[in-house]
Amino acid sequence: MSESAAKTDAKGYWSATLRLTATLLFIWFACSYGAGIVFRDFLDQFSIGGAPLGFWFAQQGAIYFFVALVFYYCWAMKRLEKKYRVEAQ
């Protein structure tokens, strides 16, 4: 460990990471299992283009959300690392 690591707030960093992870996993669950499976029949009364919305979530939408979630996670983790002065290598 270098000297700057002494100022690292590892505890704060970890609890912020856990909060972020829980929030993102909630969205992950909602856009796939929620919109694509459990609430699919309800959502199918709406449509996106020519596709029923619930069906679209199951075959397309959930995947777009997954990609967005992972990139947001990367960006947010970089910010957390700065904020809690976690040494990036």
Instruction: Quote the CA–CA distance of 84 and 63 in Å, as a whole number.
Output: 31
What are the structure tokens assigned to 40, written together? Answer: 């699919």
CA angle 14, 31, 16 (to 5 degrees): 10
Taking CB under 8 A as the criterion, which residues in 29-68 touch another protein? 32-33, 36-38, 44, 48-52, 55-56, 58-60, 62-64, 66-67
What are the structure tokens assigned to 48, written together? Answer: 């996106």
What are the structure tokens assigned to 62, written together? Answer: 């959930």
Site string for another protein, 17-36 (x = CB under 8 A): x---x--xx--x---xx--x
Which residues lie near another protein (CB under 8 A)? 1, 5, 8, 10, 13-14, 17, 21, 24-25, 28, 32-33, 36-38, 44, 48-52, 55-56, 58-60, 62-64, 66-67, 69-71, 73-74, 77-78, 81, 86-89
